[in-house]
Amino acid sequence: MCSDRRWRLSTVLVVILVVAGCGPTEPRVEPVVPTSTVSLPVPLCDTLNGSGEVERTLLTYEELMQPGDPEAPIDDGAFALPVAAARPEHTFEGRLELHGEEAEGDFTKVTGGAKLPPGSSHLPEFDYAFVQCASHLVPVRRGLITTDHPTWDLILEPGRVWHEVGDRGYSRATFPFALVWKGSNATFNGVMGFLFDHQHVSQVWYQITQETTASLRADFWGLLDATYHPETVGDPGRVRGDYASELAQRFPAKPLEEMEVDYTGVDLSAFGRGVTPEHMTGYGVIVNGVNYVPPCRTRYGQYAYCDQMRMPSYSTAKSIFAAGALMRLAQKFEQPVGGLLIKDYLPEIAGAAGDWGRVTFDHTLDMATGNYRSSAYMADEDSRQPGDFWDTDSYSDRMAAALYWPHSARPGTRWVYHTSDTFVVVRAMQNYLKSRQGPDADLWSFFAGEVLAPIHVGPGASSSGRAPEEGGPGQAYGGYGLWWTHDDVAKISVFLNNQHGAIGGEQLLAPDLLDDALQRDARDRGVEIVPGMRYNDGFWAQRFGRAQGFDCVFWVPHMLGYSGVVIALIPNGTTYYYFSDNREFTWSDAVKALDAIIPICP
């Protein structure tokens, strides 16, 4: 199985991140509230007005209509909506069924030591419904789709439909998709393209030329036969309406280069610096209510659907979901949920190797349960043990592995990183939720409905990876297993960093817990990792000071993910984030560049 299931952070992380601050002055901690309403033009299921005169040399009518065996992927730009695209002459509504997925198509490993099981070089069986909303092609199923394939699950995202004169009366469609390594967060991004009319469809070209995983880099591509099944699927009017609303609620965005226009003298090279370009999936900078995003690169040019690309959460799920769920529970039920004891909400504790008698929800989110084997940095997370947490799937086996650690210290006194601890506290919180809302309550559904939905995080982020268990949907992993787009990251970051966990005048997250996690309460910095680094309720924090060129001492709370994911919530109300897969965690230069726009120190 893919080594990304061992979501450890490289020991080099401490060397990169640890800084020594000095000086007595604290920064201004009130973040700047977004004020800008500037946005790129967003088509609300628009009608295209181009001529259809497109000079096309790739993905041509002939290539899609005639049998062929492509030798390699093509430039990803061939799947993008061209400037001269005209209004489509047909409406796609029904199922797209591919044929020969289990045997046709090619695969080339670029780098990586992961060994793929037999059949992994081919796509899962594909037969899914789509609805057209003017020039947009919308999959009826969004989020993670569990398949019968031995290796891959699927994510489908909305694409575009248009007309080109050279397509001989057919309409053209492309859409993004991703393969997800089962039981993991490893994600391989691709795109499909085809022609269609009222009843027929051409062959479908697919290719995968980019990924976010430290274990494997690979290209997949092929030209498959397909069948179009025109039919009414579910409630197409609702699907169209929901998608139009999704587009209308997108966070304002601009190309990264326009940041130089809006903020003269900004050092754009500071963003993305320190990450090997071929390992960068995507990044962005959020300033004054605008998300500045560069194109998403692949090995074959720019990805056609950067705004729809699903990027894996890895351990940012610990901050957003696990910590966010605790904050929502505390706010909704007006109870200090963080102080509840794990043993009172997790019956499996009776068989634990360690001592959980005084361990609270908060201790567990802090990675400070006192149950561990080695306090050396990431030693436990990297180690192998009987019934290893990463090498099993079922809830019962995973929980048994999570409770394997022996007692070694008093709770709350020693930080030892265990993704399995997040699994424990997520289950305990779910059982607490059931005590309040009944036996069918599910913590992920609760969090997605009560936090993500109100801030308009789209339906593509509505699902979580889960450990299967009998008689239920399975337990959400908690410590990983979510997927974000640039838009999702912007909405979540501003909700936390600028809106203080409130939306529309309603406080969704307990403000005291959020202040602690975001280093806004000097009395609670969390558990020390090493000097200059803290961990508080699933959030990391790094100290900056005069040694780094600042006139005051301040802390930057941030979220990290195993492969090289950073979401840094700067105290001046800005955010810098990136998703990469070479385990490079370098972002201090971005803090300096954003300080030049909005000073952090008084």
The DSSP code sequence of 48-94 is P---------SS-HHHHHS----SS---GGGGSPPTTPBPPSS--EE
- d(CA 278, CA 259) in angstroms, rounded, equals 23
In total, the chain counts a number of residues equal to 602
Average pLDDT over every residue of 70-84:
97
- d(CA 387, CA 53) in angstroms, rounded, equals 60
Asked if the model's pLDDT at residue 284 lies above 50, the reply is yes
Residue carrying the six token digits 């046709």: 104
Query: Over the Cα atoms of the chain, what is R_g?
Result: 24
Q: β-pairing, 253-255 with 290-293? A: parallel
If pLDDT is split at 50, 70 and 90, which confidence band does 386 have? low
- d(CA 420, CA 138) in angstroms, rounded, equals 36
- Whether the CA torsion 584, 520, 480, 145 is positive or negative: it is negative
Architecture of domain 316-482: 3-Layer(aba) Sandwich (3.40)
- d(CA 168, CA 166) in angstroms, rounded, equals 6
Q: Residue 50 corresponds to which tokens in the numbers above?
A: 């181009």
Instruction: Pick the range with the lowest mean pLDDT from 7-21, 229-243, 418-432.
Output: 7-21
The more confidently predicted of residues 4 and 298 is: 298
**pLDDT tens digits, 224-262:** 999 999 999 989 999 999 999 999 999 999 999 999 999
State the amino acid at position 497 in one-letter form: N
Average pLDDT over every residue of 526-538:
97
CB 67 within 8 A of CB 99: no
If pLDDT is split at 50, 70 and 90, which confidence band does 384 have? confident
Asked if the model's pLDDT at residue 52 lies above 90, the reply is yes
Asked if the model's pLDDT at residue 349 lies above 80, the reply is yes
Residues 6+ apart with CB under 8 A from 146: 153
**pLDDT tens digits, 534-554:** 999 999 999 999 999 999 999
If pLDDT is split at 50, 70 and 90, which confidence band does 20 have? very low
- d(CA 398, CA 417) in angstroms, rounded, equals 16
Task: Please give the backbone phi and psi of residue 506, each rounded to the nearest 5 degrees, phi first.
Answer: -105, 130
Residue carrying the six token digits 């199922």: 95
Closest CA to 417 of 375, 456, 387: 375
- Classify burial at 231, counting beta carbons within 10 Å of its beta carbon; exposed 0-12, middle 13-18, buried 19 or more: exposed
* CA distances from residue 589 to 208, 270, 277 in whole angstroms, order as listed: 32, 5, 16
- d(CA 414, CA 368) in angstroms, rounded, equals 5
**pLDDT tens digits, 549-570:** 999 999 999 999 999 999 999 9
pLDDT of residue 27: 54
Residues 6+ apart with CB under 8 A from 214: 3, 4, 112, 562, 563, 564, 581, 582, 583
